Chain A
Amino acid sequence: MDFVRYIGGESIGILSRIGRLFTFLVYAIYFSITPPFKIDRILRQIRFIGAQSTLVVLLIGTFTGMVISLQGYHTLSRLGSEAFLGPMVALSIMKEMAPVLTGLMVTARAGSALTAEIGIMRITNQIDAIEMMGLNPFRYLIAPNMIAGFISLPLLTGMFDAIGILGGYLVGVKIFGLEYATFFGEINTYVWVEHLMEGIYKSMSFGIIISWVSCYMGYYTGSSGFGAEGVSKSTTSAVVLAAIMILIWDYFMTAFLF
C-alpha cells in the first residue's frame, strides 16, 4: 500500500511540475508579445545571449564545417561523387548542425548563466522586491530573455551557416583540391532558401526553449533546495533539460514539418 501511495505521490508531483513548466511558458509568451516592452532590458539580453556567444559559435562553426567536409570527402570519393561535397556540407550544416549545435552551445554558455542569475534573484528576494513594487517579474525578467532568445539564435545560426560552409570549402577546395566552381556551383543547384529557413525556424524555437527552461529553473529555485545549493541544482537541471528538449524537439520538427 505504501508503495502504491509513494508512486501515486511521485506521479502527482511530476505531473504538477510539468503543468507548472507549461503554465510558465504561456505566461512568458503572453508577456513577450504584449506591450509595454522593456527595450533596454531586451537589448541587454540580446547582447548577453547573442552578441557574447558570437565568437564561440564562429569557432565551432568553422570546425564543424571542416570536419563534415573531411568525412564527406572520404565517403563521397569512394562513390566517385566528390562533386557533391558542397551541397552535402551546406545541407547538413544548414538543416541540422548549425541550429542544433548553436542551441546546445548557447544553452551551456548563456542558459546556465541565466538560470544562475534569476535563481540568485529569487533567493535574495530580488524577485519578491519587483512584485512588492506592484510590478510583474515576467515583464521585467522573463519576457526580455524570451525575446532575446528568439532574436539571437537565428542570427547566430546564420553566422554558423556562413562560417561552416567556409570551413567546408577550406578543406574541400584548399586541402583536397576540389574545384572552387564545383563546390559552390553544386551548392547553387541543390541548396535553396527553404533549406536555409528550415534551420532558421528551428533555431527560433530553440531560442524559446533555452530562455523558457533557463528562466523557469531560475524562477523556481528554492523549491528543491536552499541557498547556493539550490541555485547550482537549478543550473544543472536547466542545462540538461534544455539540451534534451532541443534534441527531442529537433527530431519532431524535422519529422513532421520538413
Chain B
Amino acid sequence: MIELNNIHKSFSGHEVLKGVSFKVEKGEILVLIGMSGYGKSVILKHVVGLLKPDKGTVKVDGLEVNSLKKNALADLRSRIGFLFQGGALFESMTVYDNVAFPLREKARLDRTVIEKKVLNVIDQVGLSGAENKYPSQLSGGMQKRAALARELVWEPEIMIFDEPTTGLDPIIGHAILNLIEEMHKRMHFTGIIITHELSRVFKIVNKVAMLHEGIIIETGSPEEMLSSKNSLVRQFLSGDTEGPISFR
C-alpha cells in the first residue's frame, strides 16, 4: 500500500507540490495524469525517498519512507521496481548486463537461471537480438524497453513506471501496456503509472488521479474520470485546447 499525505515540495522558491495526497491499495494500479512539468515525476521520486518532502508524509506498506534508516530504506527499495522517465540504463553495460544486473547483485541466482530469465524478458519487450548492444547504440524507444525489462525481470512487489510508453510507436506502446497488464495479473504488484496513453491504460487500471497546479484535483475509477464534472479533468482527457487549462 502506498499513501501520500499532504506532500509539499519547492525547488529554489518554486512550489511544485502544494499538498498532494492519494492512496494506492495493495495490488491496485493507479494512473497519474496531468500536464507535463506539473510534478508527476517529482511525486514518484517522493514515493521511494529519492526526494524528501518539505512537509507531509509518505507511507509504503505502513513504513514512513522519510524516517527510515539507511538499511531499512535499502530493504524497502529492493522490493520496488522503478522505471525512470529517461530509462536510466547503465551506459557502461550492454542491454544483457543491464537486465541481468539486479539478478546478479540482489538475487545471487545460478548463472543459467539468470540467463534464462534475462533472455526471456528481453524477448517479451521485443529486444531479442539487441542483447549485446550498448544503450547508446539503441533508439530512445528501445532504451525504454530495455529499462522496463530491467525492472520486470526481478518481479518486484511494487512497480512504479514513469511514462513507460512515451516515445514508443503505437504498436510497441500497446504491447508494453499488455505486458504490464499480464505481469499484473500474474504477480498482483501494487503500482503507479504515469502515461498519456489514456484510452489503453484505462482498461488495465483501477484508479486514476489527476495532478493539476500542485494538488490532486480528482481521483476515481476510469469510468468516473471519463464522466467527471470537473471541467479541468474533462478538458485534459479530451485533449481540447480550449478550456480552463491554459498551456501557454
Residues of A within 8 A of B (CB): 120-121, 124-126, 128-129, 131-136
Contacts and interface: CB of A to CB of B under 8 A. Distances in A.
Nearest to A123: B86
A121 B88 CA distance: 8
B88 A133 contact: no
B105 interface: yes
A8 to B, nearest CB: 19
Nearest to B90: A126
Contacts of A135: 74, 105-106
A120 B206 CA distance: 37
Contact of B91 (A126, A132, A136): A126
15 contacts: A121-B91, A124-B88, A125-B86, A126-B90, A128-B45, A128-B50, A129-B90, A131-B77, A132-B77, A132-B82, A133-B105, A134-B75, A134-B76, A134-B78, A134-B106
B50 A131 contact: yes
B89 A126 contact: yes
A199 to B, nearest CB: 33
Contacts of B91: 120-121, 124, 126
Given A132-B48, A132-B50, A135-B105, A126 B88 contact: yes
Nearest to A136: B74
- 8 shortest A-B CB distances, which residue pairs? A134-B78, A125-B88, A129-B88, A134-B74, A125-B84, A132-B82, A134-B77, A126-B88
A180 B45 CA distance: 69
Contacts of B88: 124-126, 128-129
B80 interface: yes
B27 interface: no
Given A120-B91, A134-B106, A135-B105, A129 B84 contact: yes
Interface in B70-100: 74-78, 80, 82, 84, 86, 88-91
Contacts of B45: 128
Nearest to B41: A125
B102 interface: yes
Nearest to A38: B105
A176 B88 CA distance: 60
